[in-house]
Amino acid sequence: MTSPASVSLEVLHAKPAKPVTTPPLLFVHGAFCGAWIWAENFLDWFAARGFDAYAVSLRGHGTSGSLNDLQRAGMADFVDDVSSVMASLPRRPVLIGHSMGGMVVQRLLERSDPRTFAREPTVAGAALMSSVSPGGLWGTTLHMAMNTPNVLWALAGMQTFGTGMASAEALHRALFPASVPLETTQKYLTRFQTESMRAQTDLTFSPPPVCTNGKAIPMLVIGASEDTFVPPWMARSTARYYDAPCHILEGMGHAMMLEPDWERAATILHDWLTETVSA
């Protein structure tokens, strides 16, 4: 395990026009991508609504470190990365994790002693968007093997060899519903990358995260009806695990922040932030 100090992390930041007292937002991306996935739409949108919005590229992703850093990285390293960014923020943040990033958030929450966390939580809240469930990748893998085996094989090739092993069509089916034009995927195809095998192994074989600290803070789960990776039943099971509210976005897919209709997902998150976390 390498320390965050040994890797220069890419952190994107959209700053509100006026000083704010709301908690900063720290967005954590999923597998095969980087902080850029939030910068396309979400960061500026939330900054315009009075939130200091940050997104980190986990080591080996985006411009954070190198391919060697990625190959050595496990989930604990990714948690260290997010923790190091949190330490630089002016106030306790709300963590928003997508897909693999959702499990990074869950693992970070369980690190604190529950007795200390109950008195002084290290975060103001957490939102899990199309997140890996507490049970890990087993459910996702089985679901895809039964419903979209071609997409599963394409992603396995991406994991080992990079995006050159995945056709635009297969990646499109993984990320978006049929209603989204293929051109959306073609626009982003070269920005996706290979992923850490060690992290994927952690996601598959590690025991579920302890839910105590997650239940002690405001938490939101967002899923999508057309999600190839995280079907609605899986999002609902995650919400039950943390006693959290769950919203299923009808007609949307896994990469909800990149869809033409992305503002629907952003609005659900914003309303929860203003009603629950920033009230």
With H, G, I as helix, E, B as strand and everything else as coil, classify residue 208: coil
pLDDT, averaged across the chain = 91
272, containing H or E segment:
helix 262-272
In angstroms and rounded to an integer, the radius of gyration of the C-alpha atoms of the chain is 17
| Least-confidence region, from 16-25, 92-101, 161-170, 207-216 | 161-170
Give me the pLDDT at residue 262, please. 98
- pLDDT single digits (tens) 7-28: 799 999 999 999 899 999 999 9
168: number of CA atoms within 13 Å, CB side?
12
Q: At what angle do helices 197-205 and 100-110 cross, to 10 degrees?
A: 60
Q: Residue 6 above 90 pLDDT? A: no
Alpha helix (H) residue ranges in 88-207: 100-110, 114-119, 138-147, 149-161, 168-175, 182-188, 197-205
Q: Residue 109 above 90 pLDDT? A: yes
Is residue 30 within 8 A of residue 102, CB to CB? The reply is yes
Q: Residue 142 above 90 pLDDT? A: no
220, containing H or E segment:
strand 219-224
At residue 274 the predicted structure's pLDDT band, cuts being 50, 70 and 90, is very high
Give me the pLDDT at residue 11, please. 98
Give me the pLDDT at residue 278, please. 72
Give me the pLDDT at residue 279, please. 56
What residues does each domain of the chain span? 4-137+197-277
- pLDDT single digits (tens) 44-63: 999 999 999 999 999 999 99
- pLDDT single digits (tens) 168-200: 787 888 889 989 999 988 889 889 988 999 999
Nearest partner of 151 among 137, 169, 132, judged by Cα: 169
Is residue 177 within 8 A of residue 81, CB to CB? The reply is no
Q: Residue 85 above 60 pLDDT? A: yes
DSSP states of 8-57 as a string?
Answer: ---EEEE--SS---SPPEEEE--TT--THHHHTTHHHHHHTTT--EEEEP
- Provide the β-strand partners of residue 95: 26, 126
Q: Residue 150 above 80 pLDDT? A: no
The architecture that CATH gives domain 4-137+197-277 is: 3-Layer(aba) Sandwich (3.40)
At residue 4 the predicted structure's pLDDT band, cuts being 50, 70 and 90, is low
Cα separation, 28 vs 73, in Å, equals 16
Give me the pLDDT at residue 241, please. 98
Cα separation, 175 vs 112, in Å, equals 33
Q: Is the dihedral of CA 114, 118, 123, 129 positive or negative?
A: positive
Give me the pLDDT at residue 171, please. 81
What does the DSSP 8-state code read for residue 209? Answer: P
Nearest partner of 255 among 72, 29, 87, 94, judged by Cα: 29
CB-based contacts of 271, cutoff 8 Å, min separation 6: none
The CA distances from residue 180 to 154, 177, 220, 254, in Å, are 19, 6, 26, 12
Q: Residue 3 above 70 pLDDT? A: no
